[in-house]
Chains A and B, each alone.
Chain A
């Protein structure tokens, strides 16, 4: 099986990798680029643990091929904190609200929540819950996650 050479931008850095065309973007991030923050919960689009943005659009990286990343701009959980390690407000609020237990779903929730707040800085609770309907968590019961997102949104708007 001949491999395909892909050049893409991940968290602002240009990267290259060789991929079998059957590999997903998630496989490529984890196995070729050592970016293991994005998780595989299901591999079939149901759980959102593999969420990344591609050219600003939230997608499940398990439902996209690595070859499709050619020339795109990809953002993953690894790009969320500042270069100096300063946490994004969403990351801080997840900790403050204890919005994680095992943490497996957390990268996906954070990436998805960030995409929401970029589009809608002042979402209602219902909007948060619908936006995150494709992110599954087996531990928290979701309530703390929703509160953390609402609180981070308020802080980012300067309302808290």
Chain B
């Protein structure tokens, strides 16, 4: 295995484009090293992105959004007060990843690019309308987060492409988001279902919403029918019921030891309702 530590994204792209065999980027390594250890993925070229200037920065963009560096750890994300105020749902998704030790290293970008359908930070990013900046040989392009995972363990990135930043839109007024997952214990487990809701209110009425589901399909789902069930409502019982029904209808889960198809479908509706309530309270400033 060749270990590379480029000092710019262009250099990283150059190395990746030339690489012949198995290539991986190294952010926090909490997926890559586990896969190496298991013998599942033995990279010929490992490209560490952490020496590239700026990759650990969280910056406010001129339009009021956020640019998050690709090596920012979960712990660093959670320690950023302003970001937590704007996007508590995005941050709480990432903070559910692993233990304190894993939080010291794991990144949003790694969580997304590992391509697990159950990745905990991804529904929150999708509900937020986040994008990633992809750098390749011909410059950069901006891609919606939900368009990165293509199937379990795979992304839509071409060989020689690297994610160079995660971008969150401006939060604006009267808005809130939330992420919830179901696991059989309280810590350290893989989501059986995950759900994120982001919404904006005008008075009591919901005027914008996005709903995303994890672990119920090969890739994260952005469920527009579920969002439509919320928009225009005051989160009354009928809207919550319509939301749950739409969330359940979108699920295409598998049966495995963590949960059956029936269970996952049912829980998706339950979590959608609960996450919507939290996001609504946050939007109205009732809770953090």
Contacts and interface: CB of A to CB of B under 8 A. Distances in A.
* A and B pair up: yes
A48 B99 contact: yes
A134 interface: yes
Contacts of A4: 3
Interface stretch (B31-39, B206-214, B232-240): B31-39
Contact of A45 (B26, B36, B98): B98
A91 interface: no
B48 A68 contact: yes
Given A48-B101, A64-B29, 19 more contacts: A22-B1, A44-B34, A45-B98, A46-B188, A51-B101, A57-B75, A57-B105, A60-B102, A62-B33, A62-B37, A63-B30, A63-B105, A64-B33, A65-B26, A65-B33, A68-B29, A112-B100, A115-B100, A134-B101
A21 B46 contact: yes
Nearest to B76: A57
B104 A58 contact: yes
Nearest to A21: B3
Contacts of A67: 3, 5, 48
Contact of A21 (B1, B29, B50, B99): B1
> In this complex, which of B30, B46, B50, B105 has the most chain A Cβ atoms within 10 angstroms of its Cβ?
B105
A6 to B, nearest CB: 11
Contacts of B30: 45, 63
Contacts of A112: 100-101
Contacts, number: 81
A154 B105 CA distance: 29
B2 interface: yes
A45 to B, nearest CB: 6
A63 B75 contact: no
Contacts of A68: 26, 29, 48, 50
Contacts of A43: 37
A59 B36 contact: no
Nearest to B35: A44
B81 interface: no
Nearest to A46: B188
Chain A interface, >50% SS class: mixed
Interface in A22-48: 22, 24, 43-46, 48
B38 A44 contact: yes
Contacts of A45: 30, 33-34, 98-99, 101-102
A58 B33 CA distance: 17
A63 B34 contact: yes
Contacts of A44: 34, 37-38
Contacts of B50: 68
A95 interface: no
Contacts of B3: 4, 21, 65, 67
A22 B36 contact: yes
B187 to A, nearest CB: 4
B38 A130 contact: no
A105 to B, nearest CB: 13
A153 to B, nearest CB: 16
A87 interface: no
B73 interface: yes
A67 to B, nearest CB: 5
B1 to A, nearest CB: 5
Nearest to A71: B51
- 3 tightest Cβ-Cβ pairs between the two chains A and B: A134-B99, A21-B3, A133-B187
Contacts of B37: 43-44, 62
